[in-house]
Amino acid sequence: LAPTYEYTMSFDRTHDIAASFYTYLPFGINAGLTYFYMTGFPFTPDRLLQGATDPSSDLGNPFSERAQDYQKIDLSFSKFLKF
């Protein structure tokens, strides 16, 4: 039998992209740039039910919303020193 309801899992990352670029600069300096992008993870939203004072998890719609997307850029420089 097929499931009656499908939903994403809490660890789902629909899109996950990483890119790295490295180059050599003058005077023996190395430079690197790394970019990372990930879609937001799914979560079960809280709802304020009519007549209630505290929100409760909407268990009828598990993992039905997503957090904000995440992006990160790292820039690095390095130089080898002999002593």
The residue among 73, 74, 78 whose CA lies nearest residue 25 is 78
Q: What is the pLDDT of residues 35-55, one digit of tens each?
A: 999 998 888 888 877 787 887
Between residues 63 and 39, the one the model is more confident about? 39
Closest CA to 70 of 47, 41, 42, 44: 41
Nearest-angstrom CA–CA distance, 34 and 71? 11
pLDDT of the residue at 71: 96
For 3-25, the pLDDT digits (tens) are 667 777 777 878 899 999 999 99
DSSP 3: -
